[in-house]
Chains A and B, each alone.
Chain A
């Protein structure tokens, strides 16, 4: 298994609070991604990173921000959580060019109440 660790694995938070999810990799891969997975929608890209301090938006980036200060860590922050952000969040990494085969973490189940 690719060395990807997501934390926390489960979280319940209240509407309006900030939340940060962490993705840590031990593979030294350049590219890192945050996806959300919802029934009927498949996996959708939130943000991605192509290097330290280099990030870009995906298709569902509103309400989310990211940071990558080290190769191994990619943080996803929900600035003010809303119920529509209740989802399962997956981090993924890929070694080569953007959008080549990606390897996924175990996911974080986030519930916003």
Chain B
């Protein structure tokens, strides 16, 4: 069965303390992996698409990487405005979402 697991469920960081979020997957045929950011009471906001192992994408303090089994979202020197839930989704013949990592960055 296709499955997507995100860890940790929640993460508290001090401003400037870099860390990584994990998205591990077991799927029969990966056509792409997506990262989204979701703020409370809002819809997910698209961040990145990764298609093949070894691929990397960057946007401001965020960097997403992909291997054959997992993806990491690295957050460098986070700020309080980076606080949100980060979702990953894998595309097989359908889009399967993980349950997200709730990130809190405090001053």
Mask, A80-108, CB within 8 Å of B = 1, is 00000000001010000001111111110
Q: How far is the CB of A81 from chain B (nearest CB, A)?
A: 22
Taking a contact as CB atoms under 8 Å apart, the answer to whether B42 and A43 are in contact is: no
Taking a contact as CB atoms under 8 Å apart, the answer to whether A41 and B99 are in contact is: yes
The secondary-structure label for the interface of chain A is loop
Please report the number of residue pairs spanning A and B whose Cβ atoms sit closer than 8 angstroms: 50
Residues of B within 8 A of A104 (CB): 36, 43-46
Q: How far is the CB of A24 from chain B (nearest CB, A)?
A: 14
Taking a contact as CB atoms under 8 Å apart, the answer to whether A59 and B100 are in contact is: no
Taking a contact as CB atoms under 8 Å apart, the answer to whether B44 and A90 are in contact is: yes
B44's contact among A43, A44, A58, A99, by CB below 8 Å, is which?
Answer: A43
Residues of A within 8 A of B93 (CB): 99
Query: Which residue of chain A has its CB nearest to the CB of B43?
Result: A104
Taking a contact as CB atoms under 8 Å apart, the answer to whether A99 and B99 are in contact is: no
Query: Which residue of chain B has its CB nearest to the CB of A43?
Result: B97
Taking a contact as CB atoms under 8 Å apart, the answer to whether B97 and A42 are in contact is: yes
19 contacts between A and B (CB under 8 A): A4-B43, A42-B4, A42-B97, A42-B98, A42-B99, A43-B44, A43-B89, A44-B97, A45-B94, A45-B95, A90-B43, A99-B93, A99-B94, A100-B91, A101-B32, A102-B46, A103-B46, A104-B43, A104-B46
Q: A42-B99, A100-B91 are in contact. List 16 more A-B contacts (CB 8 A).
A: A41-B99, A42-B4, A42-B97, A42-B100, A43-B89, A44-B97, A45-B94, A58-B94, A90-B43, A99-B93, A101-B34, A101-B46, A103-B46, A104-B46, A105-B43, A107-B41
